[in-house]
Structure formats: C-alpha cells, structure tokens
Amino acid sequence: MAVPVKSEAGFNPGAPATLFRGTYASLNVNITTFEQNPWDISLDGKRFLMIKEQAPAASQYEVPRRINIVLNWTEELKQRVPVK
C-alpha cells in the first residue's frame, strides 16, 4: 500500500492505494542486529526488488523449472574460442 503524506501543518495522511498486486514472499527474520526482508528499495528510491511467490503447479505432472550451473566455464570457453 502507498499513502501520500502532507506535513506542512502537522501529519496529514491521504487515502491509501494499492501499490502492488499479487502474492509476494513475506519472510521477515529479525535477530537483534540482523534483519532480512525478501524485498529491497533502490538507492534512488524509484524501484523495488521483491520476491514473488511461485504459482501453484497446474498439475502434479508439470515439469519443474531447471537451473543449469556450469563450473569452470572459462576453461570451456578457452577450448572453444582459442586466443591467437
């Protein structure tokens, strides 16, 4: 939610409005000096980075997404593209 605020003559909040729609992660870890949220705001205050909840699978047979991790990729690159 977002609320405009005027502070000229005291605290005057405006009407709240929905800022984002959807389901986002809401994990909040707070251990005295360590706080972690699944979101962040850019330094200029113009962008948000948030973790969106995964949509439920359409069926139990749906193939999960894969992530391929390539170790030592620079060595493979040197073999495929030799430097002259």
Which residues form the domain of 26?
Answer: 18-55
Q: Classify residue 11: in a domain, yes or no.
A: no
Is 24 contained in some domain? yes
Render pLDDT for 1-55 as a digit per residue (tens, 0 to 9).
Answer: 889 898 888 888 899 998 888 777 776 555 555 566 777 888 998 888 888 777 6
Answer yes or no: is 36 within a domain: yes
The contacts found for 51-58 with CB under 8 angstroms, 24 or more apart, are: 51/24, 51/25, 52/22, 52/23, 52/24, 52/25, 53/22, 53/23, 53/24, 53/25
Query: How does pLDDT run across 66-80, given as a tens digit for each residue?
Result: 888 888 888 888 888
Q: How many residues does the chain have?
A: 84
79 occurs within a structural domain? no
Could you tell me if residue 37 is inside a domain?
Answer: yes
Does residue 77 fall inside a structural domain?
no
Which residues, listed in sequence order, are joined to residue 36 by a DSSP beta bridge? 29
Domain count, the chain: 1
Is residue 44, in this structure, part of any structural domain at all?
yes
Helix (H, G, I), strand (E, B) or coil at 62: coil
